[in-house]
């Protein structure tokens, strides 16, 4: 549980990063990602865990799993930006998206129908 002082300190860190000291544009991207991670966590049970994965062309996916089991993804321009944003947001990172982290993901009817796809009459990939 975050207390007011913890939240304020994190917000000040994001504001400092957004002001461009010292890296300018890269710091603004990191701060924006950190805000998005915190917003996701706040919306989905107050906390989140994540995992970083290279997805090609230097980009990194930040897979997020909220305390309520909802999940989402963000994409960073680099692994370092993703790692810095996760640290700034206070995101707990896991090495892999399997085991305990995967078990926390709650999937709904939409996901199940998309996973099954054409095999059981789910929506076609169009």
What dihedral do alpha carbons 37, 40, 46, 48 form, nearest 10°? -60
Q: What is the pLDDT of residues 47-92, one digit of tens each?
A: 999 999 999 999 999 999 999 999 999 999 999 999 999 999 999 9
Among 72-76, 109-113, 120-124, the range of highest mean pLDDT: 72-76
**pLDDT given at position 15:** 47
| pTM, 2 dp | 0.69
When pLDDT is cut at 50, 70 and 90, the band that residue 115 belongs to is: low
């Amino acid at each position: 549980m975050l207390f007011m002082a913890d939240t304020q300190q994190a917000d000040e860190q994001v504001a400092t990063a957004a002001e461009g000291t010292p890296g300018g544009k890269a710091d603004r991207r990191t701060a924006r990602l950190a805000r998005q991670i915190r917003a996701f966590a706040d919306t989905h049970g107050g906390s989140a865990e994540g995992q970083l994965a290279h997805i090609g062309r230097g980009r990194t996916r930040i897979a997020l799993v909220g305390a309520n089991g909802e999940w989402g993804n963000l994409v960073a321009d680099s692994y370092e930006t993703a790692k810095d944003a996760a640290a700034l947001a206070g995101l707990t990172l896991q090495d892999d998206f399997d085991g305990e982290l995967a078990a926390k993901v709650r999937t709904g009817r939409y996901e199940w129908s998309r996973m099954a796809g054409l095999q059981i009459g789910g929506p076609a990939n169009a």
